[in-house]
Chains A and B, each alone.
Chain A
Amino acid sequence: MIGTVFGWLTDGTNWTGGDGLLRRILEHLRYTVIAVLGAAVVAVPLGLAVGHTGRGGTVAVGVANAMRALPTLGVITLLSLTLGILKTGPVLLGLGILAVPPILAGAYAGVQSVDRAVVDAAAGVGMTSWQRLWKVEVPLAMPLLLGGLRGAVLQVVATATVAAYVGLGGLGRPLLDGLRVTDYPRVAGAAIVVAVLAVLLDLALALVQRQVVPRGLRLARTSVGGAR
Chain B
Amino acid sequence: MRQTLTTMVSVLAAGVLAVGIAGCGSDDPLAPAESSGTNGAGAPIIVGSADFTENVLLAEIYAGALRGAGAEVVVKPRVGTRETLVKGLQDKSLGVVPEYSGNLLAYLDKAATQAQPDEVYTALKDKMPDGLTVLEQSQAEDSDVLVVTQETATTHSLETLEDLGAKCGEFVLGAAGEWKDRWEAKIKELYGCTFKEIRTTDAGGPVTVEALKTGQVQVANLFTTASAIDANSFVQLRDTKRMYPAQNVVPFGRADVLNEAATDALNKVSDSLTTELLTGLVSRVEVDKENVADVAADFLRDAGIPAG
Contact = CB atoms under 8 A, between A and B. Distances in A.
Interface of A: 18-19, 81, 84-86, 166-167, 173, 176-177, 179-182
Contacts of B201: 167
Interface in B74-97: 80-81, 83-84, 87
Interface in B39-87: 80-81, 83-84, 87
B202 A167 contact: yes
Interface in B202-242: 202, 206-207, 210-211, 214, 216
Given A85-B206, A86-B210, 13 more contacts: A18-B197, A19-B200, A84-B210, A86-B207, A86-B214, A167-B207, A167-B210, A180-B84, A180-B177, A180-B178, A182-B81, A182-B84, A182-B87
Contacts of B210: 84-86, 167
Nearest to A176: B177
Nearest to B211: A86
A167 B176 contact: no
A173 B177 CA distance: 9
28 contacts: A18-B197, A18-B199, A81-B206, A85-B206, A85-B207, A85-B210, A86-B207, A86-B210, A86-B211, A86-B214, A166-B207, A167-B201, A167-B202, A167-B207, A167-B210, A177-B177, A177-B200, A179-B84, A180-B83, A180-B84, A180-B177, A180-B178, A181-B81, A181-B181, A182-B81, A182-B83, A182-B84, A182-B87
B197 A86 contact: no
Contacts of A84: 210
A166 B181 CA distance: 21
* Chain A to chain B: the 10 pairs with minimum beta-carbon distance, closest first: A167-B207, A177-B177, A85-B210, A182-B83, A180-B177, A180-B81, A86-B210, A181-B178, A181-B83, A167-B201
Interface residues of B, number: 20
Contacts of B214: 86
Contacts of A85: 206-207, 210
B211 A173 contact: no
A198 to B, nearest CB: 24
A108 B234 CA distance: 54
Contacts of B80: 179-180
A166 B84 CA distance: 20
A84 to B, nearest CB: 8
A19 B216 CA distance: 16
Interface of B: 80-81, 83-84, 87, 176-178, 181, 197, 199-202, 206-207, 210-211, 214, 216
Contacts, number: 41
Nearest to A18: B197
A86 B81 contact: no
A76 to B, nearest CB: 12
Nearest to B181: A181
Nearest to A85: B210
A167 B211 CA distance: 9
A182 B206 CA distance: 23
Give the most central of B83, B177, B199, B214: most A CB within 10 Å: B177
Nearest to B176: A180
A181 B207 contact: no
A59 B251 CA distance: 55
A84 B181 CA distance: 29
Contacts of A18: 197, 199
A65 to B, nearest CB: 22
A166 B206 CA distance: 9
B200 A173 contact: yes
B277 to A, nearest CB: 29
Contacts of A177: 177, 200
Nearest to B214: A86
B216 A86 contact: yes
Nearest to B206: A85
Contacts of B200: 19, 173, 177
Nearest to A164: B200
Give the most central of A84, A181, A182: most B CB within 10 Å: A181
A166 B199 CA distance: 13
